[in-house]
Amino acid sequence: MIRPVRLMAFAAVVLGFAAGIEQRAASGQTPTSGGPVDPALIEDLVAANRILTQQGVLDESGHVSIRHPANPNRYLMARSLSPALVTAEDIMEFDLDSSPVDQRGRRLALERFIHGEVYRVRQDVSAVIHTHSPSVIPFSVTSVPLRPIILPAAFLWTGVPVFETRNAGVPAADMVIRNRHLGKALTNSLGDKRVALLRGHGDVVVGPDVRTAVRYAIFTETNARLLIITIGLGGGPITYISAEEGAARDSDPGIPDRAWELWKSKALGK
Amino acid sequence: MIRPVRLMAFAAVVLGFAAGIEQRAASGQTPTSGGPVDPALIEDLVAANRILTQQGVLDESGHVSIRHPANPNRYLMARSLSPALVTAEDIMEFDLDSSPVDQRGRRLALERFIHGEVYRVRQDVSAVIHTHSPSVIPFSVTSVPLRPIILPAAFLWTGVPVFETRNAGVPAADMVIRNRHLGKALTNSLGDKRVALLRGHGDVVVGPDVRTAVRYAIFTETNARLLIITIGLGGGPITYISAEEGAARDSDPGIPDRAWELWKSKALGK
Amino acid sequence: MIRPVRLMAFAAVVLGFAAGIEQRAASGQTPTSGGPVDPALIEDLVAANRILTQQGVLDESGHVSIRHPANPNRYLMARSLSPALVTAEDIMEFDLDSSPVDQRGRRLALERFIHGEVYRVRQDVSAVIHTHSPSVIPFSVTSVPLRPIILPAAFLWTGVPVFETRNAGVPAADMVIRNRHLGKALTNSLGDKRVALLRGHGDVVVGPDVRTAVRYAIFTETNARLLIITIGLGGGPITYISAEEGAARDSDPGIPDRAWELWKSKALGK
Amino acid sequence: MIRPVRLMAFAAVVLGFAAGIEQRAASGQTPTSGGPVDPALIEDLVAANRILTQQGVLDESGHVSIRHPANPNRYLMARSLSPALVTAEDIMEFDLDSSPVDQRGRRLALERFIHGEVYRVRQDVSAVIHTHSPSVIPFSVTSVPLRPIILPAAFLWTGVPVFETRNAGVPAADMVIRNRHLGKALTNSLGDKRVALLRGHGDVVVGPDVRTAVRYAIFTETNARLLIITIGLGGGPITYISAEEGAARDSDPGIPDRAWELWKSKALGK
């Protein structure tokens, strides 16, 4: 049973009913809300933050967003907060310029522009994750490509580009994706892929829904870790997942909810 | 004290007394049950799922089965569920075609055919485990053989074949062992060994009973991890466990129950 | 609510009100106290001990100090105790000779001279950490330089010297920084940097405040671990954080409190 | 408060007062007891089992013993049981032939002969530990010597021999130290050192008391792990702890009780 008081507080956050907006976003005008969102979807978004932390993919920073189900020009993401601490009350709504619908003085994630620019271009994407996934870092600072070797990471078969801020054509002295221009450059680098690495920084992972994107983020980390070990083993040519195998897996990804169920149970406690 | 109501529910599951079968198996006819099973054996099977998860051998997927003690043409395995969440109520019974005795709408593990086909051919085997054991993956995608270096993994001395779906002679575009033909091809690859790797996927481990198979699965992972480190050390020839040492250990495996006792206590809580 | 009795005990420790001084420091005269310290600052110092342990940077030894906010010639640090066990009651006050203001028989950290000598020379520093940070050790016993590859460790761009006791010009047969002379030699090696390694021993990390120093210590460990893996990957030239990127990050370090908030919550329990 | 009943049960175990001896030891005659032992010493022995498990040095097997304080020809060690589960009630007494004073049907550790034979020869030793310490394994199956690089493992400076059962001059087909002859051969290999590796198996660690031996076992594992990483870094010559540094550290080992205090608190719960 959810208590009515909490439900109202929650509605105030998501629907933008709150009166006192203490701090305006950078863009001139406050965007309108896409409307109420099914609490079950918000619960999945919160669970995604917790799961990715529990699985070692997110650390003290990084973020997860979903596209607004009723308005494709809005997305939902937590205020600037460690993912491990995110609750439903922390979820905010943004337009594709990454301006908040109802900021109310809350601190915004600096790199939210990653999300807005991806949603603008990739109509097939309804969830975006930005991580500091540790095992992908070595692939981002060397010329060794991150390719899939394990079945549950077969989705990497289409390739994993590396985004280099030095070549972004936009000033980015501190490597942070802190404006729309850098978000757009990163989105260009991502192309039609599911994962792009950010050099010396982490990755961006996209999917058709938040559970799929979480699965992609977790198995990208697992695959990277096992590929590092495999390369270290030095046993001649490595058998990667082939294009045929990857495409077959895409069309029948097994029983993904089984993993989600376990991850959620571990992340949120029994 | 187990409450009578729960005992009855449990009996219904294992013995197939339940009336409403909601979904038929693929094979035309529902197989008959091999009869009641000692709850202590079911408890070991459940513990095996939990132990292998706690020890990092099983993750969100993978499965453990035992041969039915009263009917060698039946085996017992959980419905499709993460091993960490398996309870006695989730255990189902299958024939060697991997058709369920009493499905009642429960989702079946896609790769159950591994189990049925191994039991059909290997009369010496009464427990089968399929894992995504992380440290065996590098040996499955390179030409480096997985050989034993530590005493408790001496059982690997007979060799560890690698099953490659591309060479299975059966269509397996997505590498999943999703039918009897692939289960049979994998069983051929396993031969008379205790462990076979599945390329880019994990392994299958077999034993005369579930406690022994669990021990094999755990020390296969441990040995793989330490062999990776040893090879990385680059200190010239490696001293592997010899055939003589392996055979001697086979005939006197120490005090295996001591480890089982600890693993179970850690996996199920004190 | 803090109970008055405990508050008084705390004041006695920090302010040196206790009557019975059971053991004199090495220097002839007991130094005077710098005066009371804001309990919130002490709480940060205690949290720093716990956070660095929880994050795997400190182990059974190592220590964290802060400069006294009211007297730059005093610093505050726990008595000799594993950092995981430190409470506000364990915090002692020292002068820059590392003599205690109010020892009362408590055992002193052998290597406290690291702290006193750094504070004497580095006016920009108000927090010093000495760790056995595991992943920096390999860089301390080989000629491979520890350089930054990840954004949150960009602060390492100014370089990481290695202090070798054999070259200290001071007897140090057992490598322990057990007197002012060795503390001074180490401080010379540190120069104007934020981190110096101690060969076969660990590191010393300094910052303008304790939260920043904690962040430096944690990301030095993370960066070292990922650089080890990257070097092992063997993929040609490594893209390190550049001087320009490091300087840009120095001038805008993101939202450091977000990480502190999470680390503290993890280290001190929810 | 310890309840009298439990105290009496404890006395029965340690002092051999129990009437019904259900199973005789191999040697013809039951040895006499060395007499009562200070419960604080037994508590340290139990804590050692738990600490070494919590620190990842002991796993489901391995054992810790102390020499009887009143009779140098007796030692105390748990019955065959995973170290994580050992309590005071499980401690048994043995003579130097490794025959139990009061077996009462309890199962004995197969490799107890390691302990008896070391105590027979090494008068300076009052604690013996046998582990499967994972990171020492690679050094036991290659020609890379395990040498100290970190200060707290400086005690390894006198060298770490590797015992190879194939060269023991005694039949040992399965590598298990299952009799006095093999225990003696291992003791010869150990010589006057503190640690010897057992090829493909683990190590034996000895010390003047149980706290010191625990410290040696833990830092042997830590040093081995960091040396593996250091060698993998490939940065030219490695600076090992020198003989001078090792000897200096031997004469002043810091504040070892600080680590014991923390380890015990972690292993036994707060």
Residue C16 pLDDT greater than 60, yes or no: no
Instruction: Identify the CA nearest to D266 among candidates D87, D41, D44, D54.
Output: D54
Q: Is the pLDDT reported for residue A6 higher than 90?
A: no
Q: What is the mean pLDDT of chain D?
A: 89
Which among A230, A46, A64 has a CA at the least distance from the CA of A135?
A: A230
Cβ pair A226:B138 closer than 8 A? yes
Cβ-proximal residues to A81 (8 Å cutoff; 6+ apart), any chain: A90, C258
Q: How far apart are CA D148 and CA D240, in angstroms?
A: 6
Which chains lie within 8 Å of chain A at 3 or more CB pairs, if any?
B, C
What gap in Å lies between CA D202 and CA D135, rounded to an integer? Answer: 9
Q: Which chains touch B (3 or more CB pairs under 8 A)?
A: A, D
Question: Is A164 in the active site?
Answer: no
How many CB contacts within 8 angstroms connect chain B with chain D?
93
pLDDT in tens, D223-247: 999 999 999 998 789 999 999 999 9
Contacts of C77 (CB under 8 A, 6+ apart): C63, C64, C65, C66, C91, C92, C94, C109, C112, C115
Alpha-carbon span D246 to D253, nearest angstrom: 10
Contacts with C258 from chain A: Cβ below 8 Å: 60-61, 80-82
- The residues with which B74 forms a beta bridge, in sequence order, are B95
| Confidence grade of residue C23 (pLDDT, cut at 50, 70, 90) | very low
Distances (CA, A) of A145 to A43, A137, A152, A253, C156: 35, 11, 18, 24, 26
The residue to which tokens 């086979």 are assigned: B250
Neighbours of chain D (3+ CB pairs under 8 A): B, C
% of chain C with per-residue pLDDT over 70: 89
Length of chain C: 270
Is the Cβ pair B239, D132 closer than 8 Å?
no
Mean of pLDDT over chain B: 89
Contacts of B137 (CB under 8 A, 6+ apart): A149, A150, A226, A229, A230, B200, B201, B202
Report, as an integer, the average pLDDT of D48-55: 97
Which residue in the set A152, A235, A245 is minimally distant from B144, CB to CB? A235
Low-confidence ranges of chain B (pLDDT < 50): 1-26
Report CA-CA distances (Å) from C147 to A28, B154, C130, C155, D199: 42, 42, 19, 10, 37
Question: Cβ contacts (< 8 Å) between D173 and chain B: which residues?
Answer: 244-245, 248
How far the first Cα of chain B sits from its last, in Å, is 17
Secondary structure letter of residue A148 according to DSSP:
-
- The confidence score (pLDDT) of residue C3 equals 36
Query: Does B142 sit within 8 Å of A235, measured CB to CB?
Result: yes
Mean pLDDT of D238-260: 91
Q: Which residue of C has its CA nearest to D266?
A: C84
- Does the beta-carbon distance from A252 to B174 stay under 8 Å? yes
Contacts of A132 in chain C (CB under 8 A): 150, 152
| A251 pLDDT above the threshold of 60 | yes
pLDDT band at C28 (very low <50, low <70, confident <90, very high): low
Of B43, B60, B111, B164, which is the active-site residue?
Answer: B111
Q: Which whole-number Å values give the CA distances from B230 to A33, A110, D156, in the listed order?
A: 58, 44, 20
Q: Is there a contact between A248 and B173 (Cβ–Cβ < 8 Å)?
A: yes
Query: Which residue in D has a C-alpha nearest to residue C234's C-alpha?
Result: D233
CB distance D238–C84 less than 8 Å?
A: no
**According to the 3-state scheme, what is the secondary structure of chain B?**
CCCHHHHHHHHHHHHCCCCCCCCCCCCCCCCCCCCCCCHHHHHHHHHHHHHHHHCCCCCCCCEEEEECCCCCCEEEEECCCCHHHCCHHHEEEEECCCCECCCCCCCCCCCCHHHHHHHHHCCCCCEEEEECCHHHHHHHCCCCCCCCCCHHHHHHHHCCCEECHHHCCCCCCCCCCCCHHHHHHHHHHHCCCCEEEECCCEEEEEECCHHHHHHHHHHHHHHHHHHHHHHHHCCCCCCCCCHHHHHHHHHCCCCHHHHHHHHHHHHHCC
Please indicate whether, in this complex, the C-beta atoms of B258 and D139 are within 8 angstroms of each other. Answer: no
The residue-averaged pLDDT of D52-63 equals 96
Name every residue whose Cβ is closer than 8 Å to that of residue B155 and which is 6 or more positions away in sequence.
B148, B194, B216, B219, B246, B249, B250, B253
As a whole number, the mean pLDDT across chain C is: 89
CA distance D218 to D2: 31
pLDDT at D266: 92
Residue A23, pLDDT > 50, answer no
CA distance B184 to B198: 13
- What pLDDT, in 10s, does the model give residues C207-231? 999 999 999 999 999 999 999 999 9
Q: Could you read off the pLDDT of A171-218 as tens digits, one per residue?
A: 888 899 999 999 999 999 999 999 999 999 999 999 999 999 999 999
% of chain A surpassing 90 pLDDT: 81
The reported pLDDT for the residue numbered A255 is: 78
For chain A, the average pLDDT equals 89
Catalytic residue among C111, C164, C221, C261: C111
Using 50, 70 and 90 to split pLDDT, how confident is the model at D21? very low
**Nearest-10 Cα torsion for B246, B248, B252, B257:** -20
Tell me the chain B residues in contact with residue A261 when contact means C-beta distances shorter than 8 Å: 82, 85
AA identity, residue B134: P
Report the residue from C152, C233, C248 with minimal CB separation from A173.
Answer: C248
C-alpha A141/C-alpha A203 separation (Å) is 12
Q: CA torsion, points A31, A37, A42, A45, in degrees to nearest 10?
A: -60
C172 against A30, higher pLDDT? A30
Amino acid C152: pLDDT: 95
pLDDT band at residue C14 using 50, 70 and 90 as cut-offs: very low
For C87-110, what is each residue's pLDDT tens digit?
999 999 999 999 999 999 999 999
CB contact under 8 A, B85 and A238: no
Q: Which residues of B touch A241 (CB under 8 A)?
A: 175, 200
Structure-model confidence comparison of residues A221 and D12, the more confident one = A221
* C-alpha–C-alpha distance, residues B25 and D224, integer Å: 54
Q: Band the pLDDT of C115: cuts 50, 70, 90.
A: very high
CA angle D58, B53, D265 (to 5 degrees): 40
Between CA B76 and CA B95 the distance in angstroms is 9
**What is the distance in angstroms between the Cα of D220 and the nearest Cα belonging to chain C?**
14
Per-residue pLDDT tens for A33-80?
Answer: 999 999 999 999 999 999 999 999 999 999 999 999 999 999 999 999
Q: Write out chain A residues lying below 8 Å of B176, CB-based.
A: 151, 252, 254
pLDDT digits (tens, 9 = 90+) for D197-223: 999 999 999 999 999 999 999 999 999
pLDDT at D28: 62
Q: Is the pLDDT of residue C175 over 60?
A: yes
pLDDT band at A121 (very low <50, low <70, confident <90, very high): very high
Q: Which residue has the higher pLDDT, D252 or A56?
A: A56
pLDDT value, residue C55: 97
d(CA C253, CA D158) in angstroms, rounded, equals 47
Minimum-distance CB partner of A144 among C150, C235, C252: C235
